[in-house]
Chain A
Amino acid sequence: MKKYSAFAVAREALRDHLGWERAWRSPEPQKKYDVIIIGAGGHGLATAYYLGKNYGITNVAILEKGWLGGGNTGRNTTIIRSNYLQDPSAAIYEKARSLYENLSQDLNYNVMFSPRGVMMLAQTQHEIRGYERTAHANALQGVSTEFISPQKVKKLCPIINIDGPRYPVLGALWQPRGGTARHDAVAWGYARACSDMGMHIIQQCEVTGVNTIDGKVVGVETTKGAIACKKIGIVVAGHSGVLADMAGFRLPIESVALQALVSEPIKPCMDVVVMANTVHGYMSQSDKGEMVIGGGADGYNNYSQRGSFHHVEETVRALVETFPIISRLKMLRWWGGIVDMTGDRSPIISKTPVKNIFINCGWGTGGFKAIPGSGWAMAELIAKGEPGPLAEDFRVTRFREGQFIDESVAAGVAH
C-alpha cells in the first residue's frame, strides 16, 4: 500500500494522477480462512482490522452481500458521542470516541473526525434531571460532559430558538469532545488497512448457510461457493436474525427502520451537533453545507430500508420550531436503514450457542459512534474466544440473567 501524504498528492499532481492505486483489492475467495467476518460495514471491517493489528490474525475474509459500507454505515447521521449513563456503555463508547481521535493517523486515511461538540437538549423538567444525572455518572466514568444553561446553548448554537413556546430549551448535556466523522471514509479507511494486511474483502458474496459439525462451525455456504473457516464473526446489524436463523439460534432482536434526511446545502450556520430527544430529532451541518437530520425509529418490523413518512414529518415539524431558520429549506435526500433493536437498547457482543460463532449486533439506532470500540472488543472476543473487559457485559445471556444494560429509559439514547 502506498502511503497517502501531502508529498504523494504533490507527486501525483505532477503526473496526471496516474500513480494512485486501488484502495483495496477484490480477490476471489479462497477455500479456507482462519476467520470469516460476515458483513463489511464499519463494525465488521473494524473487527477485522483489530484482529490483524492487535492479535496478528490476518488470514481473514470479510464477506459482504452488497457493497462495502452500503448498509447502515452509509446511512447514519455520523454522530460520535459517549455520554451514556451505564458504566459498560460509557466504557465502550468512550473507547470508540478516543480511538476516533487518532483514527486518521492510525489508518493513514482521513476520516474527517470533527470533535465539534454534541449537545443534547433538555426540553422538559424530566430531561433536566435525567441529563444532570448522566453528567454526574459521566464524571465518575471519566467521560468529559457538563450540564449547561440555555444561555450557553444559545451561545454555542445561535440558530436555536431557546424560548419556543412548545419546546423551550431548559439546558443541555454538553460533550465538547463529541462530534462527527465522515462515515464512508471510516469504512474505506478500515477496508484499505485490512486489505493491506492481506485480508480478503469479498463483495457481492451473500452468505446463504452456516455449516456446523457437532455444534461447532466449520464454514459457510455463499453465493460464491462454500468457504471453510475456524471461526465466524457475524456483524450484520439488521440482518442478524437472518444469520442467526441459518446458524440455528434465536436472538432478542427486532429489526426496524430508522430514517434520516438531508436538506439542500446552505452556508455554514451551525458548528455543533444538536440532539433533541423529547421531540425525537437531531441535526448537524455537513461539510458540504447540508443540514443532516435524523429522527425516531418506526415501531414495527421492517427489512425494506424505507420508513414511515409520518415519522419524518413529526421530526421535521419539531425541529422547525427549535430551528426556525430551516423552515424554508428543501429536502435533498431521504433514506432509511434497518437497525437491530434489543430490549434494553444496548448491543450484544457475545459468544453464541454454536461454538466458534461470535456475534456483534444490537447497536440499534446508535452504531456508527461505536465502530472502533466495537471492532476492538469483538476482535478480542474472536481472537481469545472469551470476551474482554469491554465486551463481557454485553453477552447475549444477560437477558436471561436479568443483567440488563438499561439505556432505553436512562438517558439520551435516541441515537
Chain B
Amino acid sequence: MLIFECPYCGVLADETDLAAGGEAHLKRFGPGSSDDEFEAYLFNRENPKGVHFERWRHINGCGKWFNAARCTVTMEVFGTYPAQTLEPPTEITNNISIKRPGWKWKEFS
C-alpha cells in the first residue's frame, strides 16, 4: 500500500487517507493561448514509466493538496512537498538522481 508523509501535518498517510490528483506542475493555459498549448494543458499527460511528479490530497486528514515524487514501476516514493511550489525541491531531485540515474521528467531532471 502506498504511504506518503503529508508535508503539512507530518502524518504518514496511506492511500485510503488520500485522493490521487494526477500530474503535478501542469503549466496552465487559458484565453489567448494557442490551440496546441491549450490541448496539451487540458489533455496530454507525461504518463511516464518511472519517475512521476503528482498531486495528492490528504482527504481523510488535514484536507490539503500536496505534491509527491514517485516511481510508477516500483511505487517507491522519493519525497513529498507542499503544493505551493513551482518546482520540486533540489533535495528530492538529488535523491531521485542517486536512485534513478538518467531520469527525466519535463524540465526538472
Contact A253 B45 (CB under 8 A): yes
- A239 CA / B74 CA spacing, docked (Å): 16
| A239, A300, A301, A304 pick with most chain B CB within 10 angstroms | A300
B39 interface contact, C-beta 8 A: yes
In the bound complex, CA of A303 to CA of B1 (Å): 15
Which residues in A have their C-beta under 8 angstroms from that of B22?
254
Q: CB-CB < 8 A to A252: which residues of B?
A: 43-45
Q: Which residue of A lies closest to B74 (CB)?
A: A304
One of B46-54, B78-86, B94-102 contacting the partner: B46-54
Which B residues touch A251, using CB under 8 A?
A: 44-45, 47
CA distance A303 to B49 in the complex (A): 6
In Å, the complex CA distance between A242 and B48 comes to 7
B49 and A299 within 8 A (CB): no
Question: In the complex, how many angstroms separate the beta carbon of B77 from the nearest chain A beta carbon?
Answer: 11
A253 touches B39 (CB 8 A): no
A contact residues around B47 at 8 Å (CB): 241, 251, 253-255, 301
Contact A301 B72 (CB under 8 A): yes
Contact of B75 among A242, A245, A304, A400 (CB under 8 A): A304
**Roughly how many angstroms separate A245 CA and B104 CA in the complex, as a whole number?**
12
Using C-beta atoms within 8 Å of the partner chain, give the interface range for chain A: 20 to 34
Chain B 50-63 per-residue mask, 1 if CB under 8 angstroms from chain A, else 0: 00101000000000
Enumerate chain B residues within 8 angstroms of A241, measured Cβ to Cβ: 45-49
Residue among A239, A241, A298 with most chain B CB within 10 A: A241
**1/0 per residue A219-247: CB within 8 Å of B?**
00000000000000000000101100100
User: What is the 8 Å Cβ interface bit string for chain A, positions 296-334, against chain B (1 contact, 0 not)?
Assistant: 001111111000111000000000000000000000000
- Let me know if B44 and A303 touch, CB within 8 A: no
Contacts of B42 in A (CB 8 A): 399
The reply to whether B44 and A304 form a contact with Cβ atoms under 8 Å apart is no
Closest B residue to A299 using CB positions: B20
Tell me whether B92 is interfacial, beta carbon within 8 Å: no
Residue A343 lies at the interface, judged by CB distance under 8 Å to chain B? yes
Is B15 a contact of A310 with CB atoms below 8 Å? yes
Q: Which residues of A contact B43 (CB under 8 A)?
A: 252, 343, 399-400
Question: Measured between C-beta atoms, what is the minimum distance from A45 to chain B in Å?
Answer: 23
With A299-B19, A303-B49 given, is the CB distance from A308 to B44 under 8 Å? no
Taking CB atoms and an 8 Å cut-off, the chain B residues in 1-32 that contact chain A are 1-2, 15-16, 19-20, 22-23
A190-243 contacts to B (CB < 8 Å): 239, 241-242
Q: How many angstroms from the CA of A241 to the CA of B52 in the assembled complex?
A: 13
Question: Please, how many angstroms separate the alpha-carbon atoms of A119 and B42 in the complex?
Answer: 35
Does A250 touch B at the CB level, under 8 Å?
Answer: yes
> Counting CB contacts under 8 A, is B87 at the interface?
no
Residues of A within 8 A of B49 (CB): 239, 241-242, 255, 303
In the complex the two chains form, is A302's CB within 8 Å of B72's CB?
A: yes
Contacts of B19 in A (CB 8 A): 299
**A101 → B minimal CB distance (Å):** 36
CB neighbours (8 Å) of A253 from chain B are 45, 47
- Shortest Cβ distance from B37 into chain A, in angstroms? 11
Please name 6 pairs of A and B residues whose Cβ atoms are closer than 8 Å in the assembled complex, sorted by A. Answer: A239-B49, A241-B49, A253-B47, A300-B15, A300-B20, A301-B47
Chain A residues with CB under 8 Å of chain B are 239, 241-242, 245, 250-255, 298-304, 308-310, 343, 399-400
Closest 6 CB pairs of A and B: A252-B43, A241-B47, A299-B20, A300-B20, A400-B39, A250-B44
